[in-house]
Amino acid sequence: MKKIEAIIKPFKLDDVKEALTEIGVIGMTVTEVRGFGRQKGHTELYRGSEYTVDFLPKVKIEVVVPDHLVDKVVTTIAGAAKTGSIGDGKVFVLPMIESVRIRTGEKGESAV
């Protein structure tokens, strides 16, 4: 069991969500976040006015999946979130020690 965290461009959320649903991933947690990577702290011009970009709006998706699905999920997210330009985001895979379904007390994969 692994946890997969992806930071993506917000407007790609629906594409990613639907692509994950297509391969059978049903649950996920979504958070609006702000952050920066390599594009940190530069200035941009928007319709003629200049502003400093410190943090960019991003969306964080978290899903927990059994080990055999990890590769497929990562490729699916990366494929659906890609625009080819800077700021497309990252995917992280984390080890998962335990999970508990609160309502029933089930543990392990069946709790996911």
Partner 1 sequence: MRNLASLTPTPRDAELLAPAWPRLAAELAASPDPDMALNNLERYGAAVDRSVLFLTLAEHPGAAALLARVFGASQVLADALRRRPSNLAWLLEPATMRVWLVEDLAADLAQALGPFEAREARMNALRRFKYRHLLRIGARDLLGDADLAATTADLARLADVCLAEALRFADAAARAAHGAPRDAQGAETGLAVIGMGKLGGEELNYSSDIDLMFVYGADGETAGGRADRVENGDYFARVCREIVAFLETVTDEGYAFRVDLRLRPEGRSGAIIRSLEGYREYYAERAELWERQALLKARICAGDAPVGAAFRELARGVVYRPGRDARIVPAIRAMKREIDRTLVAKGAEATNVKLGRGGIREVEFLVQALQLLYAGDDSWLRERNTLKAIFRLTERGYVAPDLGRTLSDALTHLRTVEHRLQILHEFQTHTLPSPPAELGRLARRMGFEGTPVQAARRFAARHRAVRAAVHRAFREFFAEGTPKARPRVRLPSTMALRATGFADPERARQNLRLILEGRPLVPYAGRLRAALERLFPALLDALWKCPDPDEALNQFERFLSAAGPRTGLVALLADNPELLAGLVRVCAGGDLLTQLLIAQPELLASLATPERLLRPKRGPAYRAALAEVFAAALPPAQRRDALRRAKQAEELTIVWRYLLGLSTIDGYAREMTALAEAVLEAGWLMTLEPLVERHGAPRDATGRFVPAVIVGLGKLGGRELITGGDLDLFLVFGEDGRTDGADPIEAHWFYNLAVERLAGTLGDITAAGVAFPVDLRLRPGSKGSGFASSVGTLERYYDEYGDLWERQTLTRSRLVLGDRALAGRVRVALRRVVYGAPLDRASLKEIAEVRKRMEVELGKETRGRWHVKYGRGGLVDVEFLAQALQLVHGHARVEARGASTAAALAGLARAGALAPAAADALVDHYRFLRRVSAALRLLGARPTDTLELAGPMPARVASALGFPSRDAFLDAYRARTEAVRAAYTEHMS
Interacting residue ranges for partner 1, rule: CB under 8 A: 9-11, 13-15, 18-19, 22, 31-32, 34, 44-51, 56-57, 59, 76, 79-80, 82-85
**Nearer Cβ to partner 1 (3/82):** 82
- CA dist 12 and 69 (Å) reads 21
**Nearer Cβ to partner 1 (23/100):** 23
**Nearer Cβ to partner 1 (55/92):** 55
Nearest CA to 56 among 28, 21, 86, 78?
86
Beta strands in the chain (DSSP E): 2-8, 29-35, 42-46, 49-53, 56-65, 89-95
Q: Could you tell me the smallest distance in angstroms from the CB atom of residue 2 to partner 1?
A: 21
